Amino acid sequence: MSYNNLTLHTDKYQINMMYAHWLQGTMNEKAVFETYFRKLPFGNGFAVFAGLERIADYIRSLHFGDEEIAYLRTQEENYKEEFLDALREFCFTGNIYSVEEGTLVFPGEPLLCVEARIFEAQLVETAILNVMNYQTLIATKAARIKQVAPDDVLLEFGTRRAQEADAAIWGARATYIAGFHATSNMRAGMLFGIPAKGTHAHSWIQGHDTEEEAFRAYAESLPDYVTLLIDTYNTLKSGVPNAIKIAHELEKQGKRMNAIRLDSGDLAYLSQMARKMLDEAGLSYVQIVASNDLDEGIIANLKSQGAKIDVWGVGTKLITATDQPSLGGVYKLVAREKAGSYEPVIKISANPEKVSTPGFKELYRIVNTQTGKAEADYITLKGEQHLERGERIKLFDPIHPYIHKFIEHYKAVPLLKPIFVQGELVYKLPSLEQIRSYHQGQFELFWPQYLRKLNAEAYRVNLSEALWELKRDLIQRHQM
């Protein structure tokens, strides 16, 4: 099996629709699809877009090899050999536009747009959503944790609880984008250049006759990188005193112990007592690391209780996004080729939030030039000119259009960048450090009320008047 070829990382109905288009002679007709999500995860005020680099790698490597063709030949649909021959020639020849990784994004706005032959655009849906949904979710979760501990060191410790190997490494990358400082995963460190950090397990202590002997052996092995796990037996009666003893021995060698780690118990109380004991022993430089099923809520509560913790190791609840394990992003057809031009299409639903926004579109961030802050994200039809002319724009709620405001002094920042043009990658993929820096700069654009962890003010995502009227007209047309 060709494990690394992701071409068949797709749902079977995509292949069946490709087959039907091939049979019907419509495979070369152009279509426009958009990805977006309908609701912010975790009750947050924003999401952090992630996953573009892996999507770009996936698009570049798309091909049906002998193994994929052989597998398709076994399916009950009995695909014609001529169709399988067409798949052998498959490559992506379309255009992709996307917001950049690390961008703060909001519900209902196009995050990634695919303009391609329907034969191509249909195939890539599943993989694009799989990547975007997971990495955006984890980056958003990590950003929430970063908000409650902005000045502390954050370590991603989730590999052993992640949903398999790919989730572990790409999840680690997503947390690094959002401000985490290191990961425990060595493969993620090697692949992406993320700093790798680690201490030792309880088994190291259990594998020695005494805790003190275990600490000393570890310090002798790694004298410049000593962080000791102090809760195997009794944190305050043996763990901290033994760590202090080893720290003093290191000092005699001209070395300094880095930290102690707490992995259980009342972290607020234990960290306070451990800090007191370390300080009294002249070891104020020794940091305290905490782990044990942490998330943004627990960290915020520990801080409010005066916990003396410098470094947070966050694992299970981060890498699995425990409180909301899915983003729910969708991939919807918004325009199709007809008579040489694009005809906008819409999906109607009894649930208002599921009614799609039709047409080939652009996405802008409207930044008030007097305050330097974002007023809204603004979605227009492709080709609208009023923003370029600097005309006054009306920002109105698309559900309740009587709620509106006008803005005159603004800069319209286009968010959808060309990534692929006619199948060629034209976007220079930034380094992970550049993405991380760009992401941090995003927060300067927004007023604090939009960034709150709880009860955030809803940030405006507005449609242009032309787009709103198109959506209204199509809804009316399909309900007649």
Burial class (CB in 10 A: 0-12, 13-18, 19+), 358: buried
pLDDT at 456 over 60: yes
Query: Residue 213 corresponds to which tokens in the numbers above?
Result: 């002997």
- Closest by Cα among 48, 110, 58, 148 to 438: 48
* Mean pLDDT value across residues 375-391: 93
Is the model's pLDDT at 398 over the cut of 80? no
Which residue has 């020639």 as its token pair? 89
Residue 74 to residues 328, 337, 405: CA-CA distances in angstroms?
32, 33, 59
pLDDT tier at 388, thresholds 50, 70, 90: confident
How do residues 220-245 score in pLDDT, each as one tens digit? 999 999 999 999 999 999 999 999 99
Average pLDDT over residues 455-477: 94
Tell me, which fold does domain 142-319 have in CATH? Answer: TIM Barrel (3.20.20)
Which of 4-8, 106-110, 132-136, 310-314 shows the lowest per-residue confidence on average (mean pLDDT)? 4-8
CA angle 31, 33, 34 (to 5 degrees): 155
Please name the residue that has the structure tokens 């410098």. Answer: 310
Is 288's pLDDT higher than 60?
yes
Compute the distance between CA of residue 292 and CA of residue 378 in angstroms, rounded to an integer: 42
- Cβ partners under 8 Å of residue 217, min gap 6: 208
Confidence (pTM): 0.96
Question: Rounded to 10 degrees, what is the CA torsion of 274, 275, 279, 284?
Answer: 120
* Residue showing tokens 């057809």: 333
Evaluate if residue 71 carries a pLDDT over 80.
Answer: yes
pLDDT band at 397 (very low <50, low <70, confident <90, very high): confident
Give me the architecture of the 12-138+325-479 domain, per CATH: Alpha-Beta Barrel (3.20)
pLDDT at 1 over 70: no
The pLDDT-based confidence of 478 (bands split at 50, 70, 90) is: confident
Q: Is the pLDDT of residue 480 over 80?
A: no
Q: Are 314 and 294 in contact (CB under 8 A)?
A: yes
Share above pLDDT 90 across residues of the chain, in percent, rounded to a whole number: 93
How far is 263 from 227, CA to CA, in rounded Å? 13
Q: Which of 200, 160, 154 has its CA nearest to residue 175?
A: 154
- pLDDT at residue 100 greater than cutoff 80: yes
Q: What is the pLDDT of residue 3?
A: 80
| pLDDT band per the 50, 70, 90 thresholds, residue 352 | confident
Q: Which two tokens stand for residue 134?
A: 């997971």
Chain segment 160-173, per-residue pLDDT in tens: 999 999 999 999 99
Of 118, 113, 112, 120, residue with least CA distance to 93: 120
pLDDT at 236: 98
Contact criterion met (CB below 8 Å) for 40 and 119: no
With beta carbons less than 8 A apart as the criterion, state whether 243 and 271 touch: no
**Helix axis angle, 267-280 to 296-304, nearest 10°:** 50
How far apart, in Å, are the Cα atoms of 475 and each of 22, 347, 412? 30, 9, 28
What's the mean pLDDT in 47-60?
A: 98
Q: What is the pLDDT of residue 403?
A: 83
Strands 361-368, 424-425: pairing is: unpaired
Confidence at residue 290, expressed as pLDDT on a 0 to 100 scale = 98
| Span 121-142, pLDDT tens digits | 999 999 999 999 999 999 999 9
Residue 401 has pLDDT above 90, yes or no: no
Q: What is the pLDDT of residues 178-193, one digit of tens each?
A: 999 999 999 999 999 9
Task: Measure the CA–CA gap between 175 and 291, rounded to whole angstroms.
Answer: 16
Sequence ranges of the domains in the chain: 12-138+325-479, 142-319
Alpha-carbon distances of 259 from 149, 155, 240, 244, 406, rounded to whole Å: 18, 14, 11, 10, 55
Residue 347 has a pLDDT of 94
Give per-residue pLDDT as tens, 318-348.
999 999 999 999 999 999 999 889 999 999 9
Q: Angle at the Cα of 357 (from 353 to 360), degrees rounded to 5?
A: 155
CA gap 71, 62 in Å, rounded: 16
Q: Is the pLDDT of residue 407 over 80?
A: yes
